[in-house]
């Protein structure tokens, strides 16, 4: 049986948390060359480098990121054990690890996740963000409990999992007040030639939006193509261009980003899915998320 050197793993974990070997060496009261050698030995035992140099600093490699995630869980559970033994806690807090597709609107994600913070007994929520295919692979490897996505699992993914449709929302187009005053009349024709912050091509909404614009013979001036919906809203708030968002969150978007509604497109729908390894959801945290999503998206 292969054995893992947990001392070396702990030193690596501290270095990753502290953002570098020098700060970790100071915290651990070790000589920097000694700490570097032990982290290097850990990498050799695991088959690759854990850190890569970028400029004057260090960043985690792909292997390093994977090792850090597991180390974080290992030492987090260790702290929970100490807390339970010393009576500072009623026992281990259950973890719920959720993969979140990076194209999903963050306000929608928050409203989905919010009930999980109030469960009794409590649940520690761990969120991992990334492309759907990478998250689904992690789900298949049992590194995630659930994936939230804007598209169902593809049959060609190679992962045996189940799609749970949480709901759907029409689309609203927003703009900062000054730009909205110019474009508010004659929607959607007013978008022709107007500055527009458009979703990235990996988004399902982008493909539907392109089709809708074509059907109305509207050609906006694309000033930015953005995968991150939160960044698109910040750019829209600054007046860079009009942007899209889910109608289910219309009031929240207007209030948080101080923008105005240009128009609504009910036919332009964004769907939300929970992907799990279970056909029937049993985890209380997943049930709370699913229930909140269905309530939000049925409004």
Domain layout of the chain by residue ranges = 6-70, 91-167+272-297, 169-270
Two tokens, residue 208: 């539907």
Residue 159 DSSP label: -
Could you tell me the CA-to-CA distances from 215 to 4, 89, 190, 198, 211 in Å, in that order? 59, 59, 15, 17, 6
- pLDDT tens sequence across 233-277: 999 999 999 999 999 899 999 999 999 999 999 989 888 898 888
pLDDT of residue 259: 95
Considering the four listed CATH numbers 3.50.50.60, 3.40.50.261, 3.40.190.10, 3.40.50.720, the one that applies to the domain covering 91-167+272-297 is 3.40.190.10
Say whether domain 169-270 belongs to CATH 1.20.1740.10. Answer: no
Q: Report CA torsion sign: 7, 11, 17, 23.
A: positive
Q: Which of 236, 170, 169 minimizes the C-alpha distance to 198?
A: 236
Reading the chain (299 residues) residue by residue, the pLDDT tens digits are 467 888 899 999 998 888 888 888 888 888 888 888 999 999 898 889 988 888 777 888 889 888 888 888 888 777 766 766 665 555 556 778 899 998 888 888 888 888 888 887 788 888 899 888 889 888 888 888 889 998 888 777 777 888 888 888 999 999 999 999 999 888 999 999 999 999 988 888 898 999 999 999 999 999 999 988 889 999 999 999 999 999 989 999 999 999 999 999 998 988 889 888 877 777 777 888 888 777 877 65
Instruction: Tell me how far apart the alpha carbons of residues 20 and 37 are, in angstroms, rounded to a whole number.
Output: 14
- Coil vs helix vs strand at 80: helix
pLDDT of residue 229: 87
What is the structure's pLDDT at 192? 94
- Pairwise CA distance, residues 146 & 98, whole Å: 5
Helix (H) or strand (E) holding 110: helix 106-113
Same fold, 91-167+272-297 and 169-270: yes
Would you say 98 and 113 are in contact if contact means Cβ atoms under 8 Å apart?
yes
Q: Which class would CATH give 6-70?
A: mainly alpha
Amino acid 77: pLDDT: 76
């Amino acid at each position: 049986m292969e054995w893992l050197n947990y001392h070396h793993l702990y030193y690596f974990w501290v270095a990753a948390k502290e953002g570098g070997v020098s700060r970790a060496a100071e915290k651990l009261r070790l000589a920097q060359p000694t700490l570097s050698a032990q982290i290097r030995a850990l990498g050799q035992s695991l088959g690759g480098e854990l850190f890569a140099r970028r400029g004057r600093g260090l960043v985690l490699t792909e292997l390093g990121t994977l090792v850090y995630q597991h180390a974080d869980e290992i030492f987090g559970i260790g702290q929970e054990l100490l807390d339970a033994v010393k009576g500072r806690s009623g026992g281990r807090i259950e973890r719920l690890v959720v993969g979140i597709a990076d194209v999903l609107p963050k306000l929608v994600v928050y409203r989905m996740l919010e009930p999980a913070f109030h469960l009794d007994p409590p649940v520690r929520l761990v969120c991992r963000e990334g492309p759907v295919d990478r998250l689904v692979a992690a789900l298949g490897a049992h590194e995630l409990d659930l994936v939230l996505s804007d598209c169902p699992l593809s049959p060609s993914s190679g992962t045996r999992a189940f799609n749970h449709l949480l709901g759907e929302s029409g689309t609203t187009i927003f703009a900062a007040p000054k730009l909205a005053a110019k474009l508010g009349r004659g929607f959607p024709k007013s978008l022709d030639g107007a500055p527009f912050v458009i979703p990235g091509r990996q988004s399902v909404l982008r493909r539907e939006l392109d089709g809708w614009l074509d059907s109305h013979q509207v050609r906006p001036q694309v000033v930015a193509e953005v995968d991150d919906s939160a960044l698109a809203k910040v750019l829209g708030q600054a007046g860079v261009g009009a942007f899209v968002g889910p109608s289910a969150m219309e009031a929240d978007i207007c209030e948080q980003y101080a923008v105005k509604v240009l128009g609504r497109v009910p036919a332009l729908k964004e769907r939300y899915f929970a992907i799990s390894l279970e056909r029937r959801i049993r985890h209380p945290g997943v049930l709370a998320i699913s229930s909140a999503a269905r309530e939000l998206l049925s409004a």
